[in-house]
Amino acid sequence: MIFGPSSTATLACLLLVLGQTPDARAQVNVEPYRQKVAQQGSGVAVRASMASYAGNTRGVIFGSAGLVGIHGAKNFAFLTLSGDYTRLNGEVSVAKWFGHLRHDYQLRDWLAWEEYGQIESDRFRRIRLRELVGTGPRFGLVRGDVFELYYGASYMYEHTKLDTAATGGRGQGGAHRFSNYISALLHAHERVTLSSVTYYQPRFDRVSDYILLSVNGADFTITSRLHSRVDAVARFDSITPPDVKRADLELKSALELTF
C-alpha cells in the first residue's frame, strides 16, 4: 500500500468523516502502515473484506475499514475505524465495530514514545462497550532493510461494559494493565511484505487476568493503489463470562485501495 501526499485540510476532512462512522482486537497490527506512510506525507486507505470465524463468532462476515495516516520528521499518527456486518434471520446487523487512534513521537532513532486510545463493541464476546487509553515507549531492536523487530511496553487503562454481569466474567468497571507487544516486519519481496505482532496484557493487580493476541499478515502489491492482504488473528482471554469461549480464531482476506 502506497500513500500519496495530501493537504492538511483534506486530511482534517477525512478524519471528520471517518470519525462519524461506527473491529478489533485488543490492539491492531500497525507495522505495515508505518512503512507505507511516506516520510513527511499522509494518506488514506479503504478496505473491503470477507472473514471466516471459529470460536465465539461463527460463520462468514463481510466488513469494511478506513484508515488515515500522517508522518512527519518526528511524529507518526493514524486513525482507523472499521465495522463487521452479518446477515442473521434475513436481517443485516453490525456484529462489531472498532476505532483506534495512535500517535508516536520519535525521541531517538531506536526509541519512540506512544500514546493511543481505542473503543470497541463486540456482541459475540458480550462486550457492549470497551474503552482504553495507554502510553509508553517503543524500542527498535532490529532496523534493517529486509527485517525489522520492535518491542513496546505501556501502561493501559481499560473500562469494559458487558451485556451481562455474569459471575466469573471480567465484569463492569475498569482495569489497569501492563501492555507488551513484540512486532516483526519482513520485506520478503518487492511486492510481498510479511508482518506479525503479538500482545500480552496482564492486569497489574491480578496477573491471572490477561489478554493474549497475535495478528499475522501478508501484504501483496497488485498495483501502486491496489493491494491484497491475508490476516490470521488469534485471541485468548483468560477470564470471560461463562457463555463466552476464551479463545477466538479469525482468518481474513481483503482488498485495499489507497489514495
Q: Which bin fits 171, alpha (ψ -120 to 50), beta or left (φ > 0)?
A: left
Given this model, what pLDDT does residue 167 score?
45
Helix ranges, 79-189 (H):
none
Given this model, what pLDDT does residue 91 score?
56
Intervals of the chain under pLDDT 50: 1-26, 39, 92, 167, 169
Four-CA torsion 199, 200, 204, 205, nearest 10 degrees: 130
3-state secondary structure of 101: strand
Given this model, what pLDDT does residue 197 score?
92
Say if strands 173-189 and 127-143 run parallel, antiparallel, or are unpaired: unpaired
Given this model, what pLDDT does residue 14 score?
36
Domain 8-258 part of CATH 2.102.10.10: no
Given this model, what pLDDT does residue 131 score?
94
Which of 174, 177, 175, 173 lies closest to 154, judged by CA?
A: 177
Cβ neighbours around 59 below 10 Å, total:
12
Given this model, what pLDDT does residue 185 score?
92
Write the pLDDT tens digit of every residue in 153-196.
999 999 988 876 554 545 567 999 999 999 999 999 989 999 99
Domain boundaries, the chain: 8-258
Cβ neighbours around 108 below 10 Å, total:
8
Find cell 489514495 and name the residue.
259
DSSP 4: P
Please provide the average confidence, as pLDDT, over all residues in the chain: 79
Are 132 and 154 contacting, i.e. CB atoms less than 8 angstroms apart? no
Given this model, what pLDDT does residue 5 score?
42
Given this model, what pLDDT does residue 236 score?
94
Stated as kind and residue range, the H or E segment containing 8 is helix 8-19
